[in-house]
Chain A
């Protein structure tokens, strides 16, 4: 069971992601940040709960383009993440990756991938390395409901099963792929059943409750660690904002959105913490802290230098 101390850590992480992205959205509005910017607001419980179950000394993360949450959940420095959004040389990818390509080799955060589904085979390969070196690490591979129909997904599950790779495939079903309701383009509406095609375990999990996510992923990671088998989780969640900053999200109803906001992952955990006897003033202070970190990240990014023009030709080859 998750104790109060762990809950607190999860709570702070989720808050940081939320406040960080609110700041990023604001800075996007001021044109400090450009390009695509896919916010994770609403989905914080998924990355936080799942990545919180890892030991990043031996485990790995591979994510899609909606990756700010995964970057922060992995413990990456908010300053480096924000500076990357700004395209500054101090960014985690020296300003060469931007929003969709948050990388941190030390934190075992292997991206950030802009092509839908493209990261799934890559994560499978990280799993191959773990098995090859007979390590006990696990890979969490995140992708959206839009990616689950790609051949790369099906190829990867099959590969992971036949080679016994410890990869936990996590479909973050936020219900929309851009403007497409997943029910319009999916043969089944419970993705966890797809696991059966590959003879692996599948689970459907409530992604608005960080504790549920955390406990399920912890269990499944432990299994992957000891049994060296892949699994598929469908974590049901919701994004509050549009697909990217340019999307007004007219394809869904206000009621639907409001409905999910009532089940906001941060709110739910807040209630839980209060029930556990945590002081409201502490909750306040943590929120302030998250805001401060986000502010500092933005100032840091703001003040950081642009990459030198010579950087254009660096980091192409090793």
Chain B
């Protein structure tokens, strides 16, 4: 199997779907002539032309809403946000229109669109440009929210997202674009509503999504050195959340640590903590732990910046605390 970068996996997904279906088009800032700010869309303009790969001005609200209208009218736009940091300019369009139009129209309209781009902490960018905003989107009924953690998942999930008839928010972590992983040559799709057990174990369940999944796998290695077998669950989908996979694991391990780069208040991580607490109460041998971003804007200083984020050490410590060791 070929090893390709995360960005290449996303590009392949877009290219394959654009070839398959001429109602799929791509728009966003710098996606065409510049080949994408993070080079995700490299070569797509050349392949599909400016009718289907559209450079937009810096108008997040305008072009996001334009994608929604195009989707209402029957196209399948992929809207790229240069980063999720700027999606806050477009959040009215996402909440008020993408997520609600179906409901408000009594089911008359479908909004088959994908809105994607890099999310999450970066490096040395300070608080406006380095933040994990998934809680904002996961909060909203009417959206699907997907956050892959490997190139393989990214490609399969994005292809499914493009084919889905709903607005899908697709979160790519800014620091993951160069991560490599195996991706088969033949076509495959991954369900948008299923979590994935990335490592099996019996002693403690570690749950995360997107970039921290790799961190959890590293933490699991460390724990294994001490004889602790952690089960690692990659949510893949933040809305809906595959509680079945989570509960099955927690009922087996009886212990749970949730990892989420976002702020801890009203986050996906805190919600999962609640769900597990409520539905696995009788199986839990310790309270659920949450390893989140610190409840502060992201500092510029690198030392502080690292301290503000989840780390392998923090995950190991949390796992041990729910196991009551050390």
Contact = CB atoms under 8 A, between A and B. Distances in A.
B106 A92 contact: yes
Contacts of B103: 96, 315-316
A85 to B, nearest CB: 14
Given A95-B106, A97-B106, A111 B101 contact: yes
Chain A interface residue bracket vs B: 35 or more
Given A103-B104, A103-B109, A317-B142, A129 B166 contact: no
SS class of chain B's interface: helix, strand, loop or mixed?
Answer: mixed
A120 interface: yes
B142 A316 contact: yes
B165 interface: yes
A126 B70 contact: yes
B105 A103 contact: yes
B80 to A, nearest CB: 15
B73 interface: yes
Given A103-B109, A155-B61, A125 B142 contact: no
Contact of B96 (A115, A127, A151): A115
B69 A125 contact: yes
B104 A101 contact: yes
Interface in B233-254: none
B88 to A, nearest CB: 13
A115 B144 CA distance: 22
B318 to A, nearest CB: 34
Contacts of B93: 118, 121-122
A165 to B, nearest CB: 9
Nearest to A131: B51
B184 interface: no
A110 interface: yes
Interface residues of B, number: 44
A124 B77 CA distance: 14
A34 B92 CA distance: 25
Contacts of B107: 94, 314-315
B75 interface: yes
B108 interface: yes
Given A94-B107, A104-B108, A318-B165, A110 B72 contact: yes
Contact of A122 (B65, B108, B166): B65
A75 to B, nearest CB: 16
A127 B70 CA distance: 8
Contacts of A101: 104-105
Nearest to B54: A163
A72 interface: no
A307 B56 CA distance: 42
A96 B106 contact: yes
B139 to A, nearest CB: 14
B63 interface: yes
A119 B142 CA distance: 18
Given A113-B96, A318-B110, A122 B72 contact: yes
Contacts of B101: 103, 111
Contacts of A231: none
A93 interface: yes
B216 interface: no
A138 B51 CA distance: 19
A242 interface: no
Contact of A128 (B61, B70, B111, B144): B70
Nearest to A114: B96
B64 interface: yes
Interface in B46-91: 51, 54, 56-57, 59, 61-75, 77
A86 interface: no
Most A CB contacts (10 A, CB to CB) among B106, B107, B165 go to B106
Interface in A87-112: 91-97, 101, 103-105, 110-112
A119 B101 CA distance: 11
A159 B69 contact: no
14 contacts: A113-B96, A118-B97, A121-B69, A122-B97, A125-B73, A125-B77, A129-B73, A156-B62, A156-B65, A158-B57, A158-B62, A162-B57, A316-B142, A318-B166
Given A121-B65, A122-B68, A156-B66, 8 more contacts: A91-B106, A110-B109, A111-B104, A124-B65, A125-B70, A151-B61, A152-B65, A318-B112
Interface of A: 60, 62, 91-97, 101, 103-105, 110-115, 118-130, 132, 151-152, 155-156, 158-159, 162-163, 314-318
Which 3 A-B pairs have CB atoms at the shortest separation, nearest pair first? A125-B69, A121-B65, A155-B62
